Each structure stands twice: as C-alpha cells, then as structure tokens.
Amino acid sequence: MKQNKYKFPPQLFITGTDTGIGKTMISAILVKGLQAAYWKPIQSGLAGETDTEWAYRNTGLPVTHFLPERYRLTKPLSPHLSARLDGVKINLNDFHLPEYEQNHLIIEGAGGIMVPINDQYFIADLIRQLNIPVLLVARSGLGTINHTLLTLEKLNSLKVPVFGVVLNGEINSENKKAIEHFGHAKVIAEIDHLSYPAPKTLQLIFENEFQK
C-alpha cells in the first residue's frame, strides 16, 4: 500500500462553505481510500437516498462501515427548522463520538459551519463538542475565495484545528493560491468534476490526490 501523502487524524469532520458543495462525495472518497467508518450525525431530508445510503452505494464497502445517524429529520431544510417541523429538539449534548472498528472515522456535517441545529447552537458548536479537526470543502470557481476565507476565519476564532481545504470543481490554480496565502490553510486536494462515482473511481481519486 502506498504511504499517505497526508497523515490523516483518527477522526475528521467534513464541513463545507455551503450546502451542495460536494461534502458527501469528498467524504466517500476518504472513506473508500482510508477504509474508514462514516457517520452523518444529522440527516435532514429522508425522501429518496440519504447521504449515508449514497456513500454506502458508491464506496462498495460493507454496511459495517456506515454508522446510524443521531438525528433523522424528514424535510431537506436547515436542521433547526427540519427538527422543529418534525417536533424534535436537537440537544448538543446528545452528540458523542460513536464506537467504530475501523482506523479512521469520517464525519459529515450538514451545510456550513453556521447552519443552526437548534435555537442556540450551530454546526460549529457540534464540531467543538466532538473536539476533532476539520476538512473544509469549497467550490473551486468564482466566489470561493470570500466564502472560504470567511469560514476559515470563523474556525480560527473558535480555535477549531483545520486539517486542510479541498477544492471541488474545475481546477483553478489562482483560487488555490489565494486561499492558501490569505487563509493560511493548505489546499490538500483539487477534485475535478466527477460525473460517475464508483468504488474504483473513488479509490483512484484518493490515490491521485491524497497519495501523490
């Protein structure tokens, strides 16, 4: 087995600069490449395929790699609103690192770090509760510098360790350089558009981007 270019921590929280940013795909790449466990603490939206089901289907790993969500909310909305509509109260103290058999645990958040989970707390507070480093997923194109720097600044102010940034989309070397220079964070991978995720594809991307 090739040696990892980056030494991944035992647990890693995948967050994004926005919703629909590609967190689930990046999570699946890491789960496949590291043979890790996957956990989505809050799933908002149960119609169709959930993020856990998507990752399970596209990694081809045994179901034992995929841990049950702490909260499963019906509507595809911000957790605080989806929970309210379901008559559920999300309690920050309900979140603890789950038991898992693998060497690594990949945790996928919901939306960005300032998405509220209830009337008082945000995803950022969930990250602090779990006390693990963050991998930030951002778009590669126009607008990403502002969104990424704002997110990095907030994480820094909360003293949340940032493992790195992944840019998702068409390769943009200037945006990569700007984020690294102004954000003082390493862009550890650039993932071009992936039209057909499959276990072999995810493994290849992991090897090319995180082991090159």
Active-site residue (options: 32, 40, 75, 177): 40
- 49, 211 in Cβ contact below 8 A? no
How far is CA 137 from each of CA 70, 72, 88, 151, rounded to the nearest angstrom? 22, 23, 29, 10
**Residue 176 annotated in active site:** no
The set of catalytic residues is: 40
